[in-house]
């Protein structure tokens, strides 16, 4: 076990005591806006840490892969019960990122709603992003930063809506979204998530596209 794994497990133990859960992902450097993320899993009374750190996108992919393997093995793979994916204030304030814009604009018109899109952690220091919150962030990354992976993420959402009898093809839904303003889309995401999505894992599973 390397030093990174040892440190990651120590932090995961702390998070488990505070927040519960079995899969933990968090920045290795709380004060670094661009910190790599660790991934740790608790199973069979033991902690298992990835040997290397990853950026937040790849960390999210790692979390999905773990949940997928748990599901295949007949284990509890519910995202809400098991996953604790943490970001601290520094990551929320990272320069030139959607998260910074969210915080700045959140003062007058909240884009992320506490309880629905994220939950505050211990003493308000960390955030747990929900599937709906991740969906909103992906949309903003797509339009603000032209992030190709975020575009793929959203494309999977359009395809899921089309399968759920939204009434349009994925291509038509994409065109519908393009004609809306940013505020309209965020409201639309909330409405469609509530009506057509049965559980968080249906959206979190889109992270598989980042493999």
pLDDT tens readout for residues 21-48: 999 999 888 888 778 889 898 887 889 8
Q: What is the CATH number of domain 3-88?
A: 3.30.420
Tens digit of pLDDT for each residue in 93-114?
665 455 555 555 444 445 677 7
CA 51 to chain centre: 21
Position 128 scores a pLDDT of: 64
Domain ranges of the chain: 3-88, 95-211
Q: Rg of the Cα trace of the chain?
A: 17
- Asked if 155 and 147 touch (Cβ cutoff 8 Å), the reply is no
Of 126, 209, 97, 121, nearest in space to 160 by CA:
209
pTM: 0.55
Instruction: Assess contact for 90 and 37: CB atoms under 8 A.
Output: no
């Amino acid at each position: 076990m390397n030093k990174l794994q040892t440190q990651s497990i120590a932090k995961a133990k702390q998070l488990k005591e505070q927040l519960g859960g079995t899969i933990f992902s968090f920045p290795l450097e709380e004060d670094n806006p661009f910190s790599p993320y660790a991934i740790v899993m608790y199973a069979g009374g033991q902690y298992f840490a990835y040997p290397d750190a990853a950026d937040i996108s790849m960390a999210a992919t790692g979390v999905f892969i773990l949940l997928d393997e748990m599901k295949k093995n007949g284990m509890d793979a519910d995202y809400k019960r098991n996953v604790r994916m943490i970001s601290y204030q520094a990551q929320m304030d990272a320069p030139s990122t959607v998260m910074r814009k969210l915080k700045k604009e959140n003062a007058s018109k909240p884009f992320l709603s506490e309880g629905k899109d994220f939950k505050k952690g211990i003493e308000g220091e960390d955030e747990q992003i929900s599937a709906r919150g991740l969906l909103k962030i992906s949309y903003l990354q797509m339009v603000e930063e032209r992030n190709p992976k975020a575009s793929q993420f959203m494309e999977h959402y359009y395809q899921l809506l089309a399968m759920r009898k939204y009434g349009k093809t994925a291509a038509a839904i994409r065109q519908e979204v393009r004609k809306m303003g940013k505020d309209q889309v965020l409201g639309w995401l909330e409405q469609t998530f509530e009506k057509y999505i049965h559980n968080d894992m249906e959206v979190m599973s889109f992270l598989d596209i980042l493999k």
